[in-house]
Chain A
Amino acid sequence: MTSIMQSETQPQLTDASTALGVAIINSKAPFSSNAGKDALDVALLFGSFEQKVSLFFQGDGVYQLIANQDGSLLAIKDYLKTFSAFEFYDIEDVYVCQQSLIERQLSKTFHIDNVQVLTNKAFAVALSKHKHVLRF
């Protein structure tokens, strides 16, 4: 999947042809901690300032992509609903670790579109293309 990002037209100190901006790894289940919400806030912040950001889900983080969850039942703001607005923040690259799904017996049905399921190796390769990695 390719896209024309405005950030690519801005001067970059690094090799702009390979560096892909910021990768955010989600490794925690939603609602059990603030990690997922914090990761989302950071992602939207980068998106708002036209910075390229990719999202990676692995370990218990894959639960954040599973449909039919509602944090408001726990009196927590259901931030997963915001995932559907990614297109307005130019967040187009969402990767999920296949191995993590298999270990948790989860199917590849997610509450947002355009999620790319990657093998361990492909996941690592995609991650390595980013200049910065933030883990939540």
Chain B
Amino acid sequence: MAVVLTFEGSIVATDKQGYLLDHTLWHKELALVMAKQDDFELSDAHWEVINFVRQFYLTYNTSPAIRALTKAMKAEFGEAKASSRYLYKLFPEGPAKQATKYAGLPKPARCI
């Protein structure tokens, strides 16, 4: 069943798994609505990753898969936050998959 994302009374177009079709429509409040639909609570640590993933996409025009994400985060935040273990703790269903969703980006094609 397709997920219908509504924000302030209007429907925001998503794919079947709830990823935004147009990433330029993203804003923070929309991410909160998306997370709420999934019963997922976003902490500051989550936001750090979400914002990072979004910046990665805007810079490089691609959503990072998990390995590239950890490597890039290492450069930005240091060793402690650059392990897939840390990221999986935050996003149990797959950091690249989940963080890109709340960042309003397409699901990474090369996905794990």
Contacts of A87 in B (CB 8 A): 71
The reply to whether the CB of B110 lies closer than 8 angstroms to some CB of chain A is: yes
The reply to whether the CB of B72 lies closer than 8 angstroms to some CB of chain A is: yes
Q: Interface size on A (CB < 8 Å)? A: 18
| A45 engages B110 (CB within 8 Å) | yes
Given known pairs A48-B67, A50-B67, A89-B68, the reply for A81 and B110 (CB within 8 Å) is no
Complex interface bits, B62-79 against A, C-beta within 8 A gives 1, otherwise 0: 101111110110000000
| B110 engages A79 (CB within 8 Å) | no
Given known pairs A41-B109, A41-B110, the reply for A48 and B60 (CB within 8 Å) is no
Q: Interface size on B (CB < 8 Å)? A: 16
The reply to whether the CB of A96 lies closer than 8 angstroms to some CB of chain B is: no
Closest residue of chain A to B64 (Cβ to Cβ) is: A88
Contacts of A82 in B (CB 8 A): 60-62
Q: In the assembled complex, how far is the CB of residue B61 from the closest CB belonging to chain A, in whole angstroms? A: 4
Contacts of A85 in B (CB 8 A): 56, 59-60, 62, 64, 68, 72
**In-complex Cβ contact of A88 among B61, B72, B109 (8 A):** B72
Mark B residues whose CB is within 8 Å of A: 56, 59-62, 64-69, 71-72, 109-110, 112
